[in-house]
């Protein structure tokens, strides 16, 4: 079996060494980069299976790297896990909005970090074939195979998380889902995230969908549903 390859990006050599040691010990192949620019070059030459990305980098920071990777068809599907000393909710929400799969704060447990990496890779590998079903609801078309959303024939650019959210709700029209159910479906049960971030994702999604945003209904005191 081919080893999964992880690109670790951090400007602290001791952190790079620690993460590389623990990932290698657990059977992963590891590449490293110390700047955002080097990370982009490395990822584009040979897209890794996952990127562990520090937020505070010299020059291009982690947010900038993520925007560039998600905008490039060659690297858009590569899962990103932020590894940062900045643990404020605003930073976490910003990272998730950009499409990151997880956000680990420093200091961290190497064993927990490796477990998080495995969880992200497992969720990607175990994606159900049903998730590739084309969804047509009202004037909205969701194509999971192409990772595309259209409203009235107009393409709508969404982050990874926003896409998963609309795919989940529109694929179950009329169903009412709590914020925790949405978190479990979009992120996985082992992902630590706040109810507030779900509301932020929904607000951003409604804005991008324009006229189709009205189909996502807020059920006060419960959560959300997609109007059938």
111-156, pLDDT tens digit by residue?
Answer: 989 998 998 888 766 554 445 688 998 899 999 878 889 999 999 9
Assess whether 115 and 162 both reside in one domain: no
Q: Are strands 102-105 and 50-54 parallel, antiparallel or unpaired?
A: unpaired
Assess whether 116 and 135 both reside in one domain: no
Assess whether 111 and 144 both reside in one domain: no
Assess whether 110 and 145 both reside in one domain: no
**Total residue length of the chain:** 228
Please report the pLDDT score of residue 103 as a whole number: 85
Assess whether 85 and 101 both reside in one domain: yes
Boundary residue ending a domain (99, 125, 151): 125
Total domain count for the chain? 2
Please report the pLDDT score of residue 24 as a whole number: 95
Query: Alpha helix locations (H) across 46-194?
Result: 62-71, 89-97, 110-125, 160-170, 179-187
119 Cβ contact list (under 8 Å, min separation 6): 102, 188, 190, 191
Please report the pLDDT score of residue 36 as a whole number: 94
Look up the CATH number of the domain holding residue 115. Answer: 3.40.50.2300
Please report the pLDDT score of residue 180 as a whole number: 78
Please report the pLDDT score of residue 35 as a whole number: 95
> Is the overall model pTM greater than 0.85, yes or no?
no
Assess whether 46 and 156 both reside in one domain: no
Assess whether 176 and 65 both reside in one domain: no
Assess whether 44 and 70 both reside in one domain: yes
Please report the pLDDT score of residue 190 as a whole number: 42
Boundary residue ending a domain (72, 107, 125): 125
Assess whether 113 and 36 both reside in one domain: yes
Please report the pLDDT score of residue 189 as a whole number: 42
Domain region containing 40: 5-125
Please report the pLDDT score of residue 129 as a whole number: 45
How large is the greatest C-alpha to C-alpha distance in the chain, in angstroms? 53
Assess whether 14 and 112 both reside in one domain: yes
User: Residue 8's CB: how many other CB atoms inside 10 A?
Assistant: 26
Assess whether 202 and 161 both reside in one domain: yes
Q: In 49-59, which positions are buried (b, 16+ CB within 10 angstroms) versus exposed (e)?
A: bbbbbbbebee
Boundary residue ending a domain (125, 158, 180): 125
Query: Which of the residues in the chain have pLDDT under 50?
Result: 128-130, 188-192
Look up the CATH number of the domain holding residue 206. Answer: 1.10.10.10
């Amino acid at each position: 079996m081919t080893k999964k390859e992880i690109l670790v990006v951090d400007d602290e050599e001791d952190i790079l060494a620690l993460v590389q040691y623990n990932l290698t010990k657990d059977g992963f192949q590891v590449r490293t980069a110390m700047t955002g620019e080097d990370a982009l070059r490395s990822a584009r030459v040979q897209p890794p299976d996952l990127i562990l990305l520090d937020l505070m980098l010299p020059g291009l920071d982690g947010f900038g790297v993520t925007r560039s990777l998600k905008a490039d068809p060659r690297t858009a599907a590569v899962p990103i896990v932020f590894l940062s000393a900045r643990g404020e909710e605003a930073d976490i929400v910003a990272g998730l909005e950009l499409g990151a799969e997880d956000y680990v704060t420093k200091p961290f447990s190497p064993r927990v970090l490796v477990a998080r990496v495995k969880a992200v890779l497992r969720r990607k590998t175990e994606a159900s074939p049903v998730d590739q079903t084309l969804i047509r609801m009202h004037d909205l078309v969701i194509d999971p195979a192409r990772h595309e959303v259209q409203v009235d024939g107009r393409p709508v650019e969404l982050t990874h998380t926003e896409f998963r959210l609309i795919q989940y709700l529109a694929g179950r029209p009329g169903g009412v889902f709590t914020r925790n159910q949405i978190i479990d479906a979009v992120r996985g049960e082992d992902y630590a995230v706040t109810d507030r971030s779900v509301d932020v994702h929904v607000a951003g999604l409604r804005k991008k969908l324009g006229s189709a945003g009205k189909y996502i209904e807020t059920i006060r005191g419960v959560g959300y549903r997609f109007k059938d």
